[in-house]
Amino acid sequence: MMGERPPRAFYSFPGSAQELAYALFGSDACVLLGGSPLSCCEPEPGSIVDISFPTYGGVNPARIKACAYIQHMGRVLGDRASGLYCVWGDAASSAVSPLPDHDAAGLAERQDAFLAVMRAENDAASAIAHYLACHPLVERVFYPGLKSDGSFAAATQLLAHGFGNIIDYRLTGCDEVFRIQASSDDPFVQIGKLETALAALR
């Protein structure tokens, strides 16, 4: 991670990152890495940026120059349904109150420790994406770490410690986009399971 961290606070919020951005800043959040198929966008300077997939440790704040960052804590906590968010930057509104310091301290520790897991996930995703890019049944892979991806140029500037743990792909003759979320487990084990699934389609 590069650049100086803005202040962070944790929020328990029942809605989406977009809804939290509006409640705190009166503005929509730009999703840095997401969509379907997956892509990496280049946020306008001074915008609110949703970094839930790469996490703060996976972005280059010196390049993004956001007003604030919002991260859903699902990946860190291993709970996709978690209603907890981390926000870097000073909220423009007090419509939603941050968690008290004694709760925030434990979340901050877990978040900082997650950087090693995130790097392992990103490394696994890269291996899986390159495997899929060479697979005879796969027509196209959407992953910003591939030089052939339309997001590659932006991702190399805006992301840090890898290109995220998500890979989208489309099979030959099929319009549906399939998504894989790599884990920090051995990438070769993950590729083996994927190969078994793809072999069943032959």
How would you classify the pairing of strands 138-142 and 166-171?
Answer: antiparallel
Category of 94 on φ-ψ map: left (φ > 0), alpha (ψ -120 to 50) or beta: alpha
The DSSP result for 133-191, as a single string, is HT-TTEEEEE-TTSTTSTTHHHHHHHB-SSS-SEEEEEETT--PEEEEE--SS-HHHHH
List the domains of the chain with CATH numbers. 8-103 (no CATH), 117-199 (3.90.1150.10)
pTM higher than the cut 0.85: yes
* Per-residue pLDDT tens listing for the chain (202 residues): 345 678 999 999 999 999 999 999 999 999 999 999 999 999 999 999 999 999 999 999 999 999 999 999 999 998 888 899 999 999 888 889 999 998 999 999 999 999 999 999 999 999 999 999 999 999 999 999 999 999 999 999 999 999 999 999 999 999 999 999 999 999 999 999 999 999 988 7
Contact indicator for 38, 142 with CB cutoff of 8 Å? yes
